[in-house]
Amino acid sequence: MAPDSDGGDGGSISDDGRLFTYRDLVVIDLDAKRVAFTLDPPCAGGPQPAVTVQPSGRFVVGVCRGTAWAPLAGPGPAHKPWQFAVADSICVSADERVLLEGPYQPFARDWVPDFVVRDVDRGRPLRTLPVTLPDASRPYAMALSGDGSMAAILMDGAIAFYRTRDGTKVSATEGPPNAVGARLAFRPSSRDLFASTRGAVRVVRVP
């Protein structure tokens, strides 16, 4: 599963059309026609990073050996440090208040099996959900509701729903039998979940 980004190949732009990133470690203000923010590499000595501005223009994500997150508050031009590192697999709520990290492999012999809910502004962990992925051999997919209050996780042919405020498992339902290539997405301003795989789309009503 990949982070919420396009990999940096086609650039990214905020919803208001003002902030733009492409390949360099800069965020460009298209209205002012100048560099608004400069960034450090998200990992020292790593490969060419991919930098993606989030739709609201409030945050930027950098992907290198891992994934890092930085706020874009304040006037430019300015240099912005990366605020905190996150997992390679992330989901961000539509209001950009809550972030869900998936299991990942930070180093060749290490594996982090947890699904962790974070506060976006400060990066602090809020909750570890009561589900783990023992190793990388089992594919999964995940999504956050628009307000970040509900997480959906697809593993082993079932979709489980968790409240992010306390980690309670609310319910589970049958999902695509194989999570490879599957995607989950909540419908904006509703509790409907779209589960898509191999061109087929299913709508699941969240309790």
112 and 205 in a common domain:
yes
133 and 76 in a common domain:
no
Mean pLDDT by 10 residues, the chain (207 residues): 43 90 88 90 70 87 79 79 79 88 82 91 88 90 92 93 95 87 84 84 82
128 and 70 in a common domain:
no
3-state secondary structure 67-113: EEEEECCCCCCEEECCCEEECCCEEECCCCCEEEECCECCCCCCCEC
The predicted structure's pLDDT at residue 107: 74
SS3 205: strand
The predicted structure's pLDDT at residue 124: 85
Return the H-helix or E-strand segment holding 193: strand 192-197
Sequence-ordered list of residues with C-beta below 8 angstroms from that of 90, at least 6 positions apart, any chain = 3, 4, 61, 67, 99, 100, 101, 102
121 and 54 in a common domain:
no
111 and 206 in a common domain:
yes
183 and 126 in a common domain:
yes
Q: How many folded domains does the chain comprise?
A: 2
32 and 95 in a common domain:
no
- Check: CB of residue 85 under 8 Å from CB of residue 67: yes
What single-letter DSSP state applies at residue 132?
Answer: E
192 and 91 in a common domain:
yes
100 and 35 in a common domain:
no
The predicted structure's pLDDT at residue 7: 44
Q: By residue range, what is the domain housing residue 96?
A: 87-207
183 and 107 in a common domain:
yes
